[in-house]
Amino acid sequence: MNDGLIPSRYAKALYKLAVENGDCDEIYEQLRALSSRYTAIDELKRVMLNPYIPAEEKGKVMLLAAGAKPGSSLDKFILLIIRNNRAEFLRKIALSFVDLYREKHNIAKVEITTAAQLPDDEIQAIIGIVKKQLGEVTLETSVEIDPELIGGFTVKVGDVLLDASVKNELKKLRLNLLSK
């Protein structure tokens, strides 16, 4: 089976279960937390892929990382994944669920990266422009600082990137000069 097909199928099944149980919003937040922690903490990956750690222990670790309660729908789902030897797909399942949730609830993920800390009113102005372009969409916004941009900002919405940084302008200028 395909690496994208397995996570997608599990995510759809979990979404259906979450809707039936009425805890879809809670599971969404927990899986967002789990996927970011899974990326940030290397030890979680090692625990999940270690064949000598019992499935129940792996489940407890993942449940703790997600911030979910024992006995919850997510707890049972994580144990199911681990018992079915799909632990390696857990992060991809979490990401697929988050994407599915955003699609069903008309949520757009917006990542704003600036060269330096901007005042809140300027960040809100950028968010306002994005909201105006996207229309009736709920925005899930994150703001990061990357000094390598030199100046300006980038805005990423889904797979679309608007690059209004000095670094990008210098790159364009360099390419233009090299082509002549």
| Separation CA 137–CA 153 (nearest Å) | 22
Question: In the chain, where are the structural domains located?
Answer: 5-103, 107-179
pLDDT, tens digit, 9 for 90 and up, residues 76-111:
898 888 888 888 888 899 999 999 999 999 999 999
Is 28's pLDDT higher than 50? yes
| Separation CA 74–CA 62 (nearest Å) | 10
What pLDDT score was predicted for residue 2?
56
* 48-60 average pLDDT score: 84
Q: Which residues are registered as beta bridge partners of 141?
A: 110
What does pLDDT average to over the chain? 90
Architecture of domain 107-179: 2-Layer Sandwich (3.30)
* 146-157 average pLDDT score: 93
28: exposed, middle or buried (Cβ count in 10 Å: 0-12, 13-18, 19+): buried
pLDDT > 90 fraction of the chain, expressed in percent and rounded = 56
Domain 5-103 indexed as CATH 1.10.520.20: yes
What pLDDT score was predicted for residue 1?
47
